[in-house]
Amino acid sequence: MNPDDLKILVHGASGRMGRAVLRLAGERPGLRVVAAVSRSGEILPEAPEVPVLPVARLAEAPACDLVIDFSLPEAFDAALAACLARGAGLVSGTTGLSERQHAALDAAALQVPVLWAANFSAGVAVLHALVRQAAAALPSWDADIVESHHVHKKDAPSGTALTLGEAVVAGRGRAPHYASLRAGDIVGEHLVQFTGQGERLELVHRATNREIFARGALEAASRLARRGPGRYDFGQLLLADGRI
């Protein structure tokens, strides 16, 4: 893969995130969307010059270096298969994946670079470390994670809530409780709350524009271009020198 001319296929292109990726990809030098895949195969106004294939014709998509996937669990297997068939890397933000699908990501990482992240925002990348630190310092306090999203979101708890829950477990060995709210057009909010006797610690992240996730995924794609096969972590890739 040529890191100065990275050829990208966008999977789940007609969705909220797919369209944001198409809209913003043009801003990034060294990166080119060569095709998009959606269920209908209709040309998308965000990138009218990009050929769009219906999912049934994914195999006909042109060669690419990386697939950026924001779809749904039922569509995800096809995106991963397309990567393996082309020797292309994968940047995926699809949440609600099954254990089998996470195992398939591990297996694919033996052949191609793979980066799956439940959240491509810089703030949540930092929040993980804070949550782990708080959980380790407050092992006897109650831990709860409350996530709020728009009414169209299908999975609950959100992928971010679950990975923040993993940080809680890493810190104190016990899982938190989860609560999910679906309301209006909330882009994505996560509250991690530690409650003791007479005091409460709250760590909150609020996304107010989903373009931050699209920018994060494009940034991940650019950074993955210089890497070989393996499983990569968004936080580690982004915070390689400890800061954004």
Ligand X SMILES: O=C(O)C1=N[C@H](C(=O)O)C[C@H](O)C1
Q: Which of 7, 11, 152, 153 is catalytic?
A: 153
Q: Which of 11, 149, 190, 205 is catalytic?
A: 149
Adjacent-strand bridge partners of 201: 194
Q: How far is the CB of 238 from ligand X (least distance, A)?
A: 15
Tokens 């409780």 correspond to 177
| 149 labelled catalytic | yes
Quote the CA–CA distance of 242 and 100 in Å, as a whole number: 32
Q: Flag whether 119 is marked binding.
A: yes
Instruction: List residues binding ligand NDP (CB under 6 A).
Output: 12-18, 38-40, 55, 70-72, 74-75, 93-96, 117-120, 155, 159, 210, 213
Q: Which does 148 bind (CB under 5 to 8 A by kind): ligand X, ligand NDP, none?
A: none
Of the pair 92, 158, the CB lying nearest ligand X is at 158
Of the pair 15, 176, the CB lying nearest ligand NDP is at 15
Of the pair 130, 138, the CB lying nearest ligand X is at 130
Of the pair 65, 147, the CB lying nearest ligand X is at 147
| 7 labelled catalytic | no
Instruction: List residues binding ligand X (CB under 6 A).
Output: 95, 118-119, 149, 153, 158-160, 188
Q: Which does 15 bind (CB under 5 to 8 A by kind): ligand NDP, ligand X, none?
A: ligand NDP
* H/E stretch holding 202: strand 200-207
Nearest of 242, 244, 241 to residue 219 by alpha carbon? 244
Half-sphere exposure of 29 (CA within 13 A, CB side): 0
Q: Which does 39 bind (CB under 5 to 8 A by kind): ligand X, ligand NDP, none?
A: ligand NDP
3-state secondary structure of 121: coil
- What DSSP assignment string belongs to 159-181? HHHHHHHHHHHHHHSS--EEEEE
Q: Flag whether 1 is marked binding.
A: no
Q: How far is the CB of 2 from ligand X (least distance, A)?
A: 30
Structure tokens given for 32: 């080119």
User: Residues 146, 179: contact at Cβ < 8 Å?
Assistant: yes
Quote the CA–CA distance of 188 and 209 in Å, as a whole number: 9
Half-sphere exposure of 197 (CA within 13 A, CB side): 1
Instruction: Please name the residues in contact with 63: beta carbons below 8 A apart, sequence gap of 6 or more.
Output: 7, 34, 86, 88
Chain length of the chain = 244
Q: Which does 149 bind (CB under 5 to 8 A by kind): ligand X, ligand NDP, none?
A: ligand X
Q: Which does 75 bind (CB under 5 to 8 A by kind): ligand NDP, ligand X, none?
A: ligand NDP
Q: How far is the CB of 69 from ligand NDP (least distance, A)?
A: 8
Nearest of 213, 221, 211 to residue 5 by alpha carbon? 221
Which residue ranges make up the annotated binding site?
Answer: 12-17, 93-95, 117-120, 150, 159-160
- State the binding site for NAD(+): 12-17, 93-95, 117-120
The residues assigned a catalytic role are 149, 153
